[in-house]
Structure 1
Amino acid sequence: MSRLVSALTKVGGNTGLSRILGFIRDLVFARLFGADAHTDAFFVAFKIPNLFRRLFAEGAFAAAFVPVLSEYKETRSFDDLKSFIDHVAGTLGLFLLLISLLGVLGAPLLIAVVAPGWYFGETGEAQLAGDMLRLTFPYLLFISLTAFAGGILNTHGQFGIPAFTPVLLNLCLIAAAYFLTPFFDPPIMGLAWGVLIAGIAQFAFQLPFLHRLRLLPKFKPSKKDEGVLKVLRLMGPAVFGASATQIGLLLNTLIASLLVEGSISWLYYSDRLMEFPVGILGAALATVILPSLSRTHNSSTPAEFSRLLDWGLRWSILLGLPAAVGLFVMAGPLISTLFQSTVFDSNDVMMSRLSLMAYGFGLLPFLLVKVFAPGFYARQDTKTPVRFAIIAILVNVSVSLILFSPMGHVGLALATTISATVNASLLYLRLRSLDIYMPPAGWRMLLFKTVTASFVMGLLLWWQMPMLETWLQAAQGWKVWQLLLWIVTGVLVYFGVLLALGVRKGDFSGKAA
Structure 2
Amino acid sequence: MSDHGRRIARNAAVVAGATLVSRLLGFVRDIIVAFALGAGLFADAFFVAFRIPNLLRRLFGEGSLTMAFIPIYSRLMEEEGEEAAQAMARSAAIWLAVVLIGIILAVELLARPLTMAIAPGFLDNLEQFAVTVDLVRICFPYVVLICGVALCMGILNSRNHFLAPALAPVALNVSLIGAALFGYFMGYNVAYCMAYGVLVGGAAQWLLQQPFLARTGFSWRGPWSWRNPGVARMGMLMLPTVFGAAVYQLNILLGTLLASFLPVGSVSYLYYADRLVQFPLGVFGIAISTAALPSLSRLAARGEMAEYDEALSASLGLTLFISLPAAAGLIGLAGPVIGLLFERGAFTPEAVTATANALVAYSAGLPFIALSRPLVAGFYALEDTRTPVKIAVLCLAANIGLGVLLMQFLAHVGLALAVSASSLLNFGLLYVLLRRRRGASLLPAGAALRILLLSVLIGGGAFLSAGWRPWWVLLIPVWVVVYMFLSLAMGLKEARLFADMFRSRVRRKLAGRK
TM-score, structure 1 normalization: 0.92
**Aligned ranges 1:225-304 → 2 under 5 Å:** 225-242=228-245, 244-304=247-307
> 2:371, 2:247 → 1: CA distance?
13
Tell me the secondary structure at the aligned position of residue 215 of structure 1: coil
1:213 Cα deviation after fit: 3.4
Residues 91 and 222 in structure 1, CA contact (< 8 A), matched pair in contact too:
no
Partner residue in 2 for 1:492:
481
Residues 9 and 288 in structure 2, CA contact (< 8 A), matched pair in contact too:
no
Residue of 68, 71, 74 corresponding to 1:64: 68
> 1:483, 1:94 → 2: CA distance?
52
Partner residue in 2 for 1:311:
314
1:362 Cα deviation after fit: 0.6
Partner residue in 2 for 1:448:
449
1:108 Cα deviation after fit: 1.5
Gaps in structure 1 of 5+ consecutive residues: 468-477
> 2:447, 2:393 → 1: CA distance?
32
Tell me the secondary structure at the aligned position of residue 64 of structure 2: helix
1:6 Cα deviation after fit: 1.6
Residues 179 and 190 in structure 2, CA contact (< 8 A), matched pair in contact too:
no
> 1:483, 1:42 → 2: CA distance?
33
**In 2 relative to 1, CA 103–50 (structure 1 residues): closer, same or farther, beyond 3 Å?**
same
> 1:500, 1:297 → 2: CA distance?
35
Residues 256 and 409 in structure 1, CA contact (< 8 A), matched pair in contact too:
yes
> 2:394, 2:345 → 1: CA distance?
42
Residues 91 and 220 in structure 1, CA contact (< 8 A), matched pair in contact too:
no
Residue of 67, 85, 89 corresponding to 1:85: 89
Partner residue in 2 for 1:44:
48
> 1:502, 1:435 → 2: CA distance?
27
Partner residue in 1 for 2:33:
29
**Aligned ranges 1:45-444 → 2 under 5 Å:** 45-122=49-126, 124-182=127-185, 185-218=188-221, 222-242=225-245, 244-435=247-438, 437-439=440-442, 443-444=444-445
1:86 Cα deviation after fit: 1.6
**In 2 relative to 1, CA 220–300 (structure 1 residues): closer, same or farther, beyond 3 Å?**
closer
**In 2 relative to 1, CA 381–502 (structure 1 residues): closer, same or farther, beyond 3 Å?**
closer
Q: Partner amino acid for 2:92? A: V
Tell me the secondary structure at the aligned position of residue 438 of structure 2: coil
> 1:288, 1:174 → 2: CA distance?
29
> 1:178, 1:437 → 2: CA distance?
53
The one-character-per-residue Cα deviations of 1:232-274 (angstroms, maximum 9, x if unpaired) are: 1111111233465433221111111111000000000000000
> 1:230, 1:437 → 2: CA distance?
29
Residues 207 and 216 in structure 1, CA contact (< 8 A), matched pair in contact too:
no
1:508 Cα deviation after fit: 5.8
Residues 210 and 216 in structure 1, CA contact (< 8 A), matched pair in contact too:
yes
The one-character-per-residue Cα deviations of 1:286-329 (angstroms, maximum 9, x if unpaired) are: 21111110000011421111111101111111101000111111
**In 2 relative to 1, CA 240–417 (structure 1 residues): closer, same or farther, beyond 3 Å?**
farther
Query: Is residue 2:459 matched to residue 1:458?
Result: yes
1:339 Cα deviation after fit: 0.3
**In 2 relative to 1, CA 295–502 (structure 1 residues): closer, same or farther, beyond 3 Å?**
closer
1:186 Cα deviation after fit: 2.6
Residues 181 and 189 in structure 1, CA contact (< 8 A), matched pair in contact too:
no
> 2:371, 2:430 → 1: CA distance?
9
**In 2 relative to 1, CA 404–328 (structure 1 residues): closer, same or farther, beyond 3 Å?**
same
**In 2 relative to 1, CA 459–287 (structure 1 residues): closer, same or farther, beyond 3 Å?**
same
User: Paired residues, what number?
Assistant: 495
Partner residue in 2 for 1:471:
none
1:87 Cα deviation after fit: 0.9
> 1:490, 1:172 → 2: CA distance?
34
> 1:275, 1:506 → 2: CA distance?
23
Gaps in structure 2 of 5+ consecutive residues: 501-514
1:58 Cα deviation after fit: 0.8
> 2:213, 2:110 → 1: CA distance?
34
The one-character-per-residue Cα deviations of 1:210-240 (angstroms, maximum 9, x if unpaired) are: 2333423259885422111111111111123
> 1:49, 1:347 → 2: CA distance?
30
TM-score, structure 2 normalization: 0.92
The one-character-per-residue Cα deviations of 1:96-151 (angstroms, maximum 9, x if unpaired) are: 111122222222222111100011234x1111111111111011000000110111
Partner residue in 2 for 1:474:
none
Identity fraction in percent: 37
Q: Partner amino acid for 1:18? A: S
Q: Partner amino acid for 1:116? A: P
